[in-house]
Amino acid sequence: MHDVAVVGGGPAGSHVAGRLVKLGYDVAVLERKQYLSEPVCCTGIISRECTTTFAIDEDLIFRWANGARIISPSGEVVKLWRPEPQAAIVDRVSFNISLASRAQGRGARYLMGTQVRAVKVQDDRVVIEAGCDGEPLSIEARVAVIATGFSLGFVEGLGLGRISDSVPGIQVEVAAPTIDDVEVYCGREVAPGFFGWLVPTSPGRALVGLLARRSLGTYLEKLMSSLEAQGKIMAANSEPMHWGIPLKPLPKTYGQRLMVVGTAAGQVKPTTGGGIYYGLLCADIAADHLDRALAADDLSARSLARYEREWKKKLGRELRVGYWARKVYERLNDGQIEKIFDIMQSSGILEDLLKDEDLSFDWHGGVVSRVFNYRVFLKTIAAMNLPTGLIKRLTSWGRGGG
């Protein structure tokens, strides 16, 4: 019997596996992909903070970004830029491989092409039922870590509740010989309630994508036609890929002999959909708590509950504030988005934020609170006829609530 069975060999799963195997535990990772070199539907933008915290190898980074050009519905460009790099664009496939190789190098056993169907918790073990090459496979471990990414049905089957809000995303790789800046496109014609992006990766290539609750393919075609017409991109290099992003966390991320980490747990920034950094942070917290629980041989729900308390202490407010900020943004029409662009620039809010050391790519709760502290901003939002419940929350953020 293994000490730990990790279901899912993405960044969160491989990081937990790597940490635990280093501590001396016997870890198996069950991954449904045959090869980790299979494409991943992700843009691969992570903060500089993430690269430092997790010692991300420079070789995995396509390029650094000092900021982004944000484009309003009418085409007005706001350049968010700082003298030092703010984010790295990583080669997402190599990133997965590197984390898995790190874990394997330390002794984790990867079972590739293994699709887990059920996780059965017994008093003294978990039994994981999977299929590999068409054959049934059963694995036993003292505890299971679920790191299956966006997998609503699978996670719901664990009996820990369900992720109640999520959004699909779509992305395609294109030829883009002249693009150097990250561009973010706002407006209901581009990606209603969300945003589209053009992100340069390796020389001459870029990713074009967007999040939207419906008609992803149509919006992507429209965005690509517009970028082609502007001469920013040329032909698509591949078929579009789509995948989902949770916007709210799973109600419960632990159970007896069970932990859920990363995107499977909804540990994702609801503002941007970025899930790599939060997933890795929570994978660290999970590994710390599992170490203690395995050593004490106490894998009860009560013991593993500490993992959830800890990750919520770190991210809970971020996720709540980010979600409500997202709900506000989703209700805005193009005129209102333009108005916010105007206010942010004309009243100096943007300039102040860019000077502020605390403005962070990863921690949006503080930024939202700061912005709502500007009376002019609050007044502008208050005049937008948003539901009173939302306005109340906004006002409380301005006062530091969450």
326: contact with ligand FAD by CB under 6 A: no
171: contact with ligand FAD by CB under 6 A: yes
Q: Which is nearer to ligand FAD, 80 or 384 (CB)?
A: 80
Shortest Å, Cβ 129 to ligand FAD: 10
**CB within 8 Å of 78: residues ≥ 6 apart:** 69, 70, 71, 72, 341, 344, 345, 350
Both tokens assigned to 397: 């953020």
Q: Write 214-220 long-range contacts (CB < 8 A, 24+).
A: 216/168, 216/169, 216/170, 216/242, 217/170, 219/170, 219/190, 219/191, 219/192, 220/170, 220/172
Q: Which residues ranging from 19 to 78 are in contact with ligand FAD (CB under 6 A)?
A: 30-33, 41-46
169: contact with ligand FAD by CB under 6 A: yes
Shortest Å, Cβ 373 to ligand FAD: 28
Q: Which is nearer to ligand FAD, 147 or 163 (CB)?
A: 147
**Of the candidate residues 11, 73, 255, 270, the single one contacting ligand FAD (CB under 6 A):** 11
12: contact with ligand FAD by CB under 6 A: yes
Shortest Å, Cβ 80 to ligand FAD: 16
Diameter of the chain measured on Cα atoms:
64
Q: Which is nearer to ligand FAD, 89 or 343 (CB)?
A: 89
Q: Which is nearer to ligand FAD, 8 or 187 (CB)?
A: 8
Site stretch for ligand FAD (CB under 6 A), options 114-122, 134-142, 174-182, 187-195: 114-122
Q: Which is nearer to ligand FAD, 10 or 73 (CB)?
A: 10
Both tokens assigned to 131: 């299929």
Q: Give the contact letters, 279-298, x = binds to ligand FAD (CB under 6 A), - = no.
A: x-------------------
Q: What is the three-state SS of the chain?
A: CEEEEEECCCHHHHHHHHHHHHCCCCEEEECCCCCCCCCCCCCCEEEHHHHHHCCCCHHHEEEEECEEEEECCCCCEEEEECCCCCEEEECHHHHHHHHHHHHHHHCCEEECCEEEEEEEECCCCEEEEEEECCEEEEEEEEEEEECCCCCHHHHHCCCCCCCCCEEEEEEEEEECCCCCCEEEECCCCCCCCCCEEEEECCCCEEEEEEECCCCHHHHHHHHHHHHHHCCCCCCECCCCEEEEEECCCCCCCEECCEEECHHHHCCCCCCCCCCHHHHHHHHHHHHHHHHHHHHCCCCCHHHHHHHHHHHHHHHHHHHHHHHHHHHHHHHCCHHHHHHHHHHHHHCCHHHHHHHCCCCCCCCHHHHHHHHHCCHHHHHHHHCCCCCHHHHHHHHHHHCCCC
275: contact with ligand FAD by CB under 6 A: yes
116: contact with ligand FAD by CB under 6 A: yes
**Of the candidate residues 61, 65, 147, 394, the single one contacting ligand FAD (CB under 6 A):** 147
Shortest Å, Cβ 72 to ligand FAD: 21
Site stretch for ligand FAD (CB under 6 A), options 2-10, 70-78, 335-343, 364-372: 2-10
Q: Which is nearer to ligand FAD, 268 or 299 (CB)?
A: 268
Site stretch for ligand FAD (CB under 6 A), options 60-68, 72-80, 225-233, 256-264: 256-264
**Of the candidate residues 25, 62, 110, 154, the single one contacting ligand FAD (CB under 6 A):** 154
Site stretch for ligand FAD (CB under 6 A), options 67-75, 252-260, 272-280, 384-392: 272-280
Site stretch for ligand FAD (CB under 6 A), options 133-141, 146-154, 186-194, 357-365: 146-154
Site stretch for ligand FAD (CB under 6 A), options 56-64, 78-86, 108-116, 227-235: 108-116
Interacting residues with ligand FAD (CB under 6 A): 7-13, 30-33, 41-46, 114-116, 147-151, 154, 169, 171, 209, 243, 245, 262-264, 268, 273-277, 279
